Structure 1
Amino acid sequence: MNILNLILAILLPPLGAFFQVGVTKHLVINIILCLCGWLPGVIHAVWLVVSNKKG
């Protein structure tokens, strides 16, 4: 499941963040970062998956 989350974090960062942490402040932060640009959202989502944040 972690590999799937990592792939989603790269392709669709908010979706990868949602599957990792659910509806939390991290998801809102990720959506805002994605609105600023794709790369900041990817970095944040990958960080969430790699650090095993659960909410």
Structure 2
Amino acid sequence: MSIWRVILSVLFPPLAVFDKGCGSVLIVLILTLLGWVPGVIAALIILNNPKS
């Protein structure tokens, strides 16, 4: 996970997980709309996942 991805996930979480698939983007987008902090946390978890 690069520093640019971390910065992007803090500023706009759905854009940071754009290459992880449509489901990840949709989940992070919904969580970001519900509250900024849940979106950031979800984006960081998805980016830190070594399987994808």
TM over 0.5, shorter chain:
yes
Report the TM-score range of the alignment, normalised by the length of the smaller protein.
0.7 to 0.9
TM-score (norm 2): 0.81
Which residues of structure 1 form unaligned runs of 5+? none
- Give the number of the structure with larger relative contact order, counting CA–CA contacts within 8 Å between residues 6 or more apart: 1
TM-score (norm 1): 0.77
Q: Percent identity?
A: 40
Q: What's the Cα RMSD here? A: 1.7
- Where do 4+ consecutive residues of structure 1 move more than 2 Å? none
Which residues of structure 2 form unaligned runs of 5+? none
Aligned residues: 52
Q: Measure the CA separation in 1 of the matches of 2:39 and 2:3.
A: 18
